[in-house]
Structures are given as C-alpha cells and as structure tokens.
Structure 1
Amino acid sequence: MKRILVASDLSERSDHAIRRAVRLAEAHGASVTVAYVVDSALPAYIAAHVQKQATITLQTKLNDCVPDPKLKTDIQVPVGDVVTEVGEVAEQVMADLLILGVHRRRLFFDKIKETTMERLIRHSRQPVLAVVNPAEAPYAHLLAAVDLSPACARAVRLAKALLPQARIGLFHAHDVSFHKEAERDYATWLAVAGLDDDLPPPMFVEARPVDAVDQIMKDNDHDLLVMGAHTRSNVGRFLLGGFSSDMIRNPPSDILVAK
C-alpha cells in the first residue's frame, strides 16, 4: 500500500476519511492525495474561484491532521464529473486505495437514485474504504462477509495486508439451514482461494446477509466490515451486488470493499 487517494466533498464526513487515510499512510509509509471535484456545470469564473478556495480548505484540513512533516501529501482540484475525474486522478497517481466519507442519507432519493458514493465505488478500479466514524484509533476488529466467491477472497486478502494487526472474524449467511454443506464448501473455497490457514473458522448464520450483519454487529465490537463489491463471479467485478449496495447505503461501520 504505497499511494492512497481520498475523494473529498469538503464535509465533516470527508474529514473523517482524510484522517483515516493519514493513519493508514503512516502505518504503511504511503503518500496521500486528496481530491475535490468542482462541478463542470458552474460558469468558468465561478469554477476557478471554487478551485482556489477548495485548495486552501483542503490544505488546512491536511495541516490539521498530518503530524509527520515527512508524510507525502498532494491536493488535486479538477473541474468535471466527480466519478470521471476521481477515476482519472486515481490512475494518474497510481492509487492503491480510494477512501471516501459516507454520503449524507436522503431517505427518499436514496431509494430511487444511485448515490454518488455508490457510483464512485462501482466505477473504481481500486478497492474502496468508506469511512463512517472518526479515525480516533487504528482498526482493531474486522468482520468479513464470506459467500465463497473470488471477490470475497480478495476482500479477506486485502484486509489482512492492509491491517495485519487487527483481529478478523468471518461470517457466512444463508437463508436455509445447510450447515454441514456450508462447512464443506467453505473448506473447498479456502483451499482454492489460497488463503492463509490461520483464519478463524467462520460463523454460519441462518439469516439474510443484511440481518446477519445487524445481528453480529450488535453482539460484538467490530469496527470495519470487509466485503467484495460483487460477490458471485468475476464477470460482475465492477458492479455492486444487492448486499453490497445495502451496506453502502446503510453502513453499520466503516466498510472496506474489494474489487
């Protein structure tokens, strides 16, 4: 993990994302780029003013949360479509991870329209960390959703590399009872995916995945949910599955999404 990109909207939610990026960058010796995209629909003279003010604002935010002067930081404020421009900045800086602040919920519009955050996660070629909570401490206890897919294997592998000191728990949810079959399939998946043998045995929960997360989160101290963006096959690697979309729209904690 050498280059981290934060997509900011200048809100307090994005401030949490910047602080989390700085924590991870310090742990991995990585650089941090913070990007804010100015709406291309603005008149040119207004867009130029917003660019200038946004750059000043982002620099102030970085100064407030970067204790180490040796940490490499960069600010980019392009004009255009937010999804397109964030993708281009990510490619330009060769980002290994995209970090976002979780969007402000809109109870009506979120039901009928894809959020900007969902669009960013869906189009990103990098794994994405969606930040809900203040970055007051390193992640300590991860919860990984496992549906025995390649995407979930990538998610577990990413989490262990990004946060090697954190505890990790796995769960596999199923609507009907087939515990023995699930255990057998999990053992096969573990071997095929080439994951480490030191992973803890998963919790097998007879419930919908969304309900399983709710149940587990209530009873434990997990501070990060880890999942694949699209779970069933590599064909949908840049799509969001139903479970992923549900978690992104109603995050129970910070979320790490592998692609």
Structure 2
Amino acid sequence: MACRSWPRAWRSCCCSRWRRRCGAGSCAATGEAGRSTRQQEGGARSMSEAHGLTDGAALGRRVLAATDLSSRADRALRRAAMIAQAAGAELLVLNALDDDQPRRLIEAERREAAVVLREQLAALEGTTPVALIEEGDPFETILRVAEARSVDLVVLGEHRRRLLRDVFSGTTAERVIRYGRRPVLMVSRAPAAPYRHVIAATDLSAHSARAIRAAHRLGLTAGARLTLLHAFEPAGLGALALADAPAATVAAREAAAANEASSALAGFAATLGLPVQPERQVAMGRPGGVIKDVVARLRPDLLVIGTAGAGHLRRMVLGSVAAEVVGAVDCDVLAVPPEPGT
C-alpha cells in the first residue's frame, strides 16, 4: 500500500478544494453520468446501485478494507470479507483517487474504479460491502474514513516488497499504523481459511494485553492456536562477560532469568481473561530479533503486536520493536495502538 508504489491513477495528495465542497471531505463513489446519489453518515455519498454496489445495513461493528485495486490489496479485501462475515460486521471498501489532476480525469478514473470494484466485490461471498471511492491522499483518506465511520478494524495489503531493497518506513501502511487510532491488519498471505496459528508478542505491559484482547474481540483468534511470545534480556550478563566469569556461572544466570520470565509470562496470561489458555514461549535476546526468528521458525498465520513505544509518544514514534517487525515478517500482522488518551 505504499503511496509511491501505487500507479499514479491511485496516488493523490490532500485536496482542500474537495474538502470544502464535501464538508468532511468523505465522499463515497458515484456512478456514471446521470448517476443518483444519496447522503450517508459523515456527508458521504453512496455508490450508485447502477454499478451493482449497494449500501449495507448499518451494524454496530465495521471493518474497513483499503484497496489500490492491486493483487496485494485483493488478498486484503478477501481477508476483510472473511472477518466481516464471521463477526456479522459491515464491510467498507475504500479506494482513493488522485485529486491533483483535471476534473475530467478524476471522473474517468472514478468510473474505471467503480467497474473494477464491482468485479472484485461481486466475487466476495457472504457479505454485502459498501464501496467508497474518495479523493485524497491514501494515508489521510484511510484515517479520515476510519474515524468518521468508527471502524473496529482497518485492513490493508502489505507494502510492495523489492528484491534489492525492502523499505517499509514511509509507506501508506506504515503511516496508517503509526498515526492511526484503530487496529490495523496488514495482510501478506492469500486467505484460504480463518487463522489457525496466532503468535502474540508481549512485553507484559498493559498495552500488549490490549493488543491481545483486541485480536480476540475481533475474532482473529477464534479456533486458532494462540502462542504468547515474550523476549527477555538477562541483566548482568555484560558484567559477567567482562569479568570473564565461568561458563557455568553465565549459564546459571541465563537459566534463572528464563525461569523468572516464564513465571512472569504465566502471570500475565492469567490476567487476559481469554476463554482458552494460550501456549507460552519465552526466548532470550533482543525483542525484535527474537520475534522475527520465532515467526520464521514457527510460521504462524498471524502476528499480533502493540505499537506503543518507549515514552509512549504514539503520534510521533512507532514503537521500535513494532517498527522493526511489522514490515519484516512473512505473515499477516495485527498492529494495535494504545488506548486513546493513555
């Protein structure tokens, strides 16, 4: 979902002109010439039924899938449909148009996007999506719609991976995760079934507990094997190394630290209130490296991680562990922000 990696037809920058015309700046897709429109919440216009894209019933739960109409985004769309169907939630499908171009080109791209979306959504089973085609920067548009529609989950396709340089920082997905206030599911694998193995990385904090509970609340752990993963770094190992301590002494310190970490993780798991007792795993090492190694070895379907960083300046700093891991692992990732106001 990297803005720069999108075809120009789907890249855009924020347009104050359109925001002035539409109030909140959230306009759903319209049909071709002679199309009819109707008002939606937040000032949005629903896509014309002439395109075969109908408005769904307003539900208490909403899933927002953002798409650039690529194959990567199609995987995310199908996963979002599975989640919405299982939860009985309303599915919103959002595509952003480049508004920094002549109006006639915008309208032509709107019509083309409507055709492509109609075809993609027709292939979805068990849900009736609400299609939104909006004008503006993808990152800003996703955040705006997510807040205006009070969605429970934002679903994105993974960023475009390059052979020689795989850069996650600065992509649309990274910016939505960094600045958004809603849980974000970044989908990298083609969805064939509900998640079967979920790893939840935890530092035993309230923020990581919130992330795990969010995954459960969203139905992402239903019927799945859930593993809690905690990385620990024993204190004092550096001093032992400098003192040239015997290997047995170092091993004893590591074993004691592992026992302490295991006990702490067991206590943490007991506070989560999950219906099924999760598996627990502790591993010594730097958290980012441990998470990537364990994911590569166990190959889960989903990694759950909280995004709060040290000092909790969430609006400016994505947690260093989350920033290192989210764009690097080969599985879907649920990134959950801290509680608003904390």
Asked if TM exceeds 0.5, the reply is yes
1:107-147 deviation line (CA, Å, top 9, x unaligned): 54827x52111001112211011000001111011001011
C-alpha offsets along residues 33-55 of structure 1, whole Å, 9 cap, x if unaligned? 11111123233221221122112
Where in structure 2 are the equivalents of 1:54-73 lying within 5 Å?
54-64=113-123, 66-68=124-126, 71-73=127-129
> CA distance change for structure 1 residues 9 and 80 in 2, over 3 Å: closer, same or farther?
same
- Does residue 173 (structure 1) correspond to residue 265 (structure 2)? The answer is no
Give matches, 1:75-86, under 5 Å.
75-86=131-142
Q: How does 1:27-106 map to 2 (within 5 A)?
A: 27-64=86-123, 66-68=124-126, 71-106=127-162
Q: In structure 2, what is the equivalent of residue 126 of structure 1?
A: 182
| Aligned match of 2:320 | 242
After TM superposition, give the deviation of residue 92 of structure 1 in Å: 2.6
Q: Structure 2 vs 1, CA of residues 67 and 245 (structure 1 numbering), >3 Å: closer, same or farther?
A: same
Greater helix share, structure number:
1
Give the strand-richer structure, 1 or 2: 1
TM-score, scaled relative to structure 1: 0.88
Provide the residue aligned with 1:214 in structure 2: 292
Counterpart of 2:125 in 1: which secondary structure?
coil
The one-letter code sitting in structure 2 at the alignment partner of 1:212 is: V
- Mean CA deviation greater in 247-256 or 102-111: 102-111
Distance of aligned partners of 1:90 and 1:197 in 2 relative to their CA distance in 1, 3 Å threshold: closer
Aligned equivalents of 1:37, 1:213: Cα separation in 2: 33
Listed one character per residue, the Cα deviations across residues 178-201 of structure 1 (whole Å, up to 9, x for unaligned) are: 22332344355456x554484335
Aligned equivalents of 1:96 and 1:252: distance in 2? 24
Choose from 126, 138, 149 the match for 2:194.
138
For this pair of structures, how many residues does the alignment match? 254
Task: Say whether residues 1:183 and 2:262 are aligned partners.
Answer: yes
RMSD: 2.4
Change in CA separation of 1:143 and 1:194 when aligned onto 2, cut-off 3 Å: closer
**In 1, Cα distance between equivalents of 2:273 and 2:317:** 24
Q: CA deviation at 1:172?
A: 0.6
The 2-side partners of 1:85 and 1:248 are apart by 22
Q: 5+ residue gaps in structure 1? A: none
Q: Any stretches of 5+ residues in structure 2 without a counterpart?
A: 1-59, 235-253, 338-342
Match of 1:156 in 2: 212
1 or 2 for the larger relative contact order (CA 8 Å, sep ≥6)? 1
**Partner amino acid, structure 2, of 1:102:** E
Contact persistence 1:105–1:249 (CA under 8 A): no
**TM-score (structure 2 length as normaliser):** 0.68
